[in-house]
Amino acid sequence: MYEDTPNLSFVLRAVHDTVFEERPIPSLRNEHDVRVRIMQTGICGSDVHYWDKGRISDFVLTTPIVLGHESSGVVVEVGSQVTNVKVGDRVAIEPGIPCRHCDYCRKGSYNLCPDTVFAATPPHDGTLSKYYLVASDYCYLVPEHVDFEAAALVEPVASSANMVRTGDVRGGQTVLIFGCGPIGVLCQAICRAWGAARVIGVDVVQSRIDFAASFGGARKEDVYCPPKKPEGMGQIEWSETLAKKMKNDLGLGEGPDVVIEATGAEQCIQTGIHILHKGGTFVQAGMGVENVYFPISVACVRALKIFGSIRYSTGCYPEAIRLVSTGAIDVKKLITHRYEFKDAEEAFQTVKRREEGTLKVMIAGVPDQQ
């Protein structure tokens, strides 16, 4: 299967329609490009969303794309003007390249650049190939003691760091995070690393609750599994009732300083708004259904600060590498499943099933020969 395949790639042609394609080895586009041999790739929820639904908001699959964007690898070719990396260097790849010239980029908010070329976001190809081209300044050296799996997971750490930064989390604060999946527990760990006094993770899946209670310096009292909605009670009434119960059960007084919502579930969004104290900060990071019932009057009366978070902004990748390389966050504890490149479709099926105990699924790079 792998013989004489210069650049084997895992391609999404349509919803649930994937194929391995033999593509040419990509040539450098300019003197600042590098070509990376991909060694490890983690599967993100957005990858699965394109595979399963064919779209995320305005990004719609209309032509085949290579999947994957959480990747690490080895530099195998560099452009003539590249100075930050050299052939043989081990790197983590930041998968979104902005235009660098618009007002958003110039202000440092390049995650908002309308012309960003982001891996595995239609119509752009991702990293599940033997080789991938990337701008040299979006390749980050990783220390020798950080293996390729951990280097690939720098991407979700950087994304989580942006969520925490968006919430302006500071020392001494109390932070409540809905969701104990990979992004949720990473946000929890980063809040602790950045000095938050109390960080609480909320989830309804017991295996995720158990994991969150042992990850990133957490304790068993740092997690909460909410009860089910009583029969006959409406969702809106329940979200307000649950918020009051959580404040009481967790001893939160008037509520936490910051809520980071990492599930996209309507119930969590509503409860998150109700549980914040006056003047608190709400960060929406999870993406579920496109439209939800939002308690806007509560947000107004309590003068809440409400933000969305997408991708990463200036400084997030270097900070993520610092957190991973120093051991502040042991990202490899997140990995529950590992697959060879030839089994990439099975890896996506595993993430889609969302079975209890599944956290991070990794796909190894294309071997030289099979």
CATH number, position 40? 3.90.180.10
- Whether residue 320 is contained in a domain is answered as no
pLDDT at 322 over 50: yes
Residues 6+ apart with CB under 8 A from 290: 57
- Band of pLDDT at residue 57, cut at 50, 70 and 90: confident
Per-residue pLDDT at 102: 97
- Band of pLDDT at residue 370, cut at 50, 70 and 90: very low
Q: Is the dihedral of CA 40, 42, 48, 54 positive or negative?
A: negative
CB 258 within 8 A of CB 168: yes
Same domain, 132 and 264: no
CATH number, position 302? 3.40.50.720
Which has the closest alpha carbon to 202: 157, 162, 170, 249?
Answer: 249
CB 175 within 8 A of CB 257: yes
**d(Cα 348, Cα 356) in Å, to the nearest integer?**
15
Domain region containing 188:
159-308
pLDDT at 348 over 70: yes
Q: Is the dihedral of CA 172, 323, 45, 222 positive or negative?
A: negative
- Whether residue 49 is contained in a domain is answered as yes
Q: Mean per-residue pLDDT for 320-347?
A: 97
Task: Give residue for tokens 């900060």.
Answer: 281
Same domain, 164 and 292: yes
**At 185, which helix (H) or strand (E)?**
helix 182-193
- Whether residue 127 is contained in a domain is answered as yes
Residues 6+ apart with CB under 8 A from 279: 302, 303, 304, 305
Same domain, 163 and 101: no
- Whether residue 324 is contained in a domain is answered as no
Same domain, 202 and 300: yes
Same domain, 226 and 349: no
Per-residue pLDDT at 97: 96
Structural domains of the chain, count: 2
pLDDT at 212 over 80: yes
Same domain, 129 and 166: no
Q: Mean per-residue pLDDT for 66-90?
A: 98
Same domain, 82 and 15: yes
Which pair of tokens denotes residue 133? Answer: 């081209």
CB 202 within 8 A of CB 223: yes
- Whether residue 339 is contained in a domain is answered as yes
Same domain, 29 and 73: yes
Per-residue pLDDT at 45: 86
Same domain, 187 and 257: yes
Same domain, 114 and 232: no
- Whether residue 186 is contained in a domain is answered as yes
Tens-place pLDDT, residues 145-172: 999 999 999 999 999 999 999 999 999 9
- Average pLDDT along the chain: 95
- Band of pLDDT at residue 5, cut at 50, 70 and 90: low
CB 86 within 8 A of CB 79: no
CB 120 within 8 A of CB 65: yes
CB 207 within 8 A of CB 225: no
pLDDT at 294 over 50: yes
Rg, C-alpha atoms of the chain:
21
HSE-CB for 124 with a 13 A CA cutoff: 19
Same domain, 71 and 198: no
Per-residue pLDDT at 1: 40
Q: What are phi and psi of 342, to 5 degrees?
A: -65, -15
CB 217 within 8 A of CB 198: no
- Band of pLDDT at residue 191, cut at 50, 70 and 90: very high
Per-residue pLDDT at 369: 65
Q: Mean per-residue pLDDT for 1-10?
A: 70
Please report, as a single letter, which amino acid is at residue 253: G
pTM greater than 0.85 (yes/no): yes
**d(Cα 88, Cα 86) in Å, to the nearest integer?**
6
Same domain, 209 and 229: yes
- Whether residue 369 is contained in a domain is answered as no
- Whether residue 325 is contained in a domain is answered as no
Tens-place pLDDT, residues 223-238: 999 999 999 999 999 9
